[in-house]
Amino acid sequence: MASVLQVSIRRTIANASSASLKVPARQIASSKPAFSRSSLVGSRGLTSIPQCRMTVAASGRLTNTTQQQTQYLKIQRRWNSDGSGTLRRWGFEEVNAALPSDSSSSPSHKPAIFIDVREPAELKGTGVIPSAINIPLASQADAIFLTDDEFETRFGFPKPPMEGDSQLVFYCKAGVRAETAAQMAVQAGYDPERVAVYYGSWLDWAKNGGKVEKWEGDDF
């Protein structure tokens, strides 16, 4: 009788052990570490850089779009490494005061050329600061280095003059591209005292209820 009881106890223990080792396949699958696609992609960092449409011609050479993108990235690195001066910062009040108006002949009025460096598709959706010209940074990175004739042939309006009293005020959506474009203007030979960045750019302008002009320009 004792032996029968012992055998029964052993079977009970064996069954319990076996049950504890049986783990549903679903539970096993869920216990595996999940590697999302984002965890395998490197960090983009803090600096926003416009997208580059990289294409390769039949000859295997990179197209002009990529070459232009590489050019302005090199300029930005050189600016950051050579200890160049800080760019002038403009805010909403300065920009608003420099808009064209009936009192533009007033001594207190500061002449300014507003340069929107966003892409034309962005401007069609939001409009621009009144009187602004569009020199898109991502797709026309070499624009500021063109000769006056080359610039006017490409864009259909005169290149901002190297000499004069007019302030060149760059802006984009949030200020990042504008700062890069302003740095490039200084590298191209514009007087740093005449180059400024509207750091709040379009987001700040819209938030403060700035005047808006409809964009009717062409794509480049």
pLDDT over 90, % of the chain: 52
For helices 64-81 and 176-187, what crossing angle results, to 10°?
Answer: 80
pLDDT at 196 over 70: yes
Condensed to tens digits (0 to 9), the pLDDT of residues 75-102 reads 555 544 444 458 899 999 999 999 987 5
Considering the four listed CATH numbers 3.40.50.300, 3.40.640.10, 2.60.34.10, 3.40.250.10, the one that applies to the domain covering 64-207 is 3.40.250.10
**Which residues participate in catalysis according to the annotation?**
172
pTM beyond cutoff 0.85 = no
Alpha helices (runs of H) in the chain, residue ranges in sequence order: 2-21, 25-31, 64-81, 92-97, 120-126, 148-155, 176-187, 201-207
Taking residues 43-60, report their average pLDDT: 39
Condensed to tens digits (0 to 9), the pLDDT of residues 157-179 reads 999 999 998 999 999 999 999 99
Domain chopping of the chain, boundaries: 64-207
pLDDT at 111 over 60: yes
Q: Average pLDDT over the chain, rounded to whole?
A: 74
- Residue 88: its pLDDT value, please? 92
Condensed to tens digits (0 to 9), the pLDDT of residues 1-51 reads 445 445 454 554 445 444 444 444 444 444 444 434 333 333 333 333 344
- Residue 47: its pLDDT value, please? 37
Handedness of CA 79, 82, 85, 89 (dihedral sign): positive
Of 119-133, 187-201, 205-219, which gets the smallest average pLDDT?
Answer: 205-219
Question: Which residue would you say has higher pLDDT here, 77 or 148?
Answer: 148
